Amino acid sequence: EVQLVESGGGSVQAGGSLRVSCTASGFTLDDSDMGWYRQAPGTECELVSSISSGGITYYTDSVKGRFTISRGNAKNTIYLQMNSLKPEDTAVYYCAADIGDTSANDCYNTGTGYWGQGTQVTVSS
């Protein structure tokens, strides 16, 4: 059974940093395109960042230069390091495997293969 488990969300003031982690089981993460989506109430689900099995990274424009996606030394783990956080980064962040579309009205409509349960990130001004 494929499982993705996120950790590391929380609350931080604007300008601060957080790192969210995703540990996978049931498949080899390094062989998959992995990423992080986010969705805040009343907004579209958007692909924040992804990393392909070949190591090619993608970032949505609003996080370029502030967020970094990486594969961990620990097997089957990816991270999203988020620096210089802004209140507009507030959302539920979802780890995902087999990445689909970059946005949709709901995350489950992106065609992405597998999802974690989500972790809340709240940035206060």
Cβ contacts of 79 within 8 Å, gap of 6 or more:
19, 20, 21, 22, 69, 70, 71, 72
DSSP 102: S
Predicted pLDDT at 31 = 84
Cβ contacts of 55 within 8 Å, gap of 6 or more:
71
Predicted pLDDT at 14 = 98
- Strands annotated E in 1-124: 3-7, 10-13, 18-25, 34-39, 45-51, 57-59, 67-71, 77-82, 91-97, 103-104, 114-115, 119-124
Residue-wise pLDDT for 45-89, tens only, equals: 999 999 998 899 999 999 999 999 999 876 789 999 999 999 999
Closest CA to 47 of 22, 74, 69: 69
Give the percent of the chain with pLDDT over 90. Answer: 73
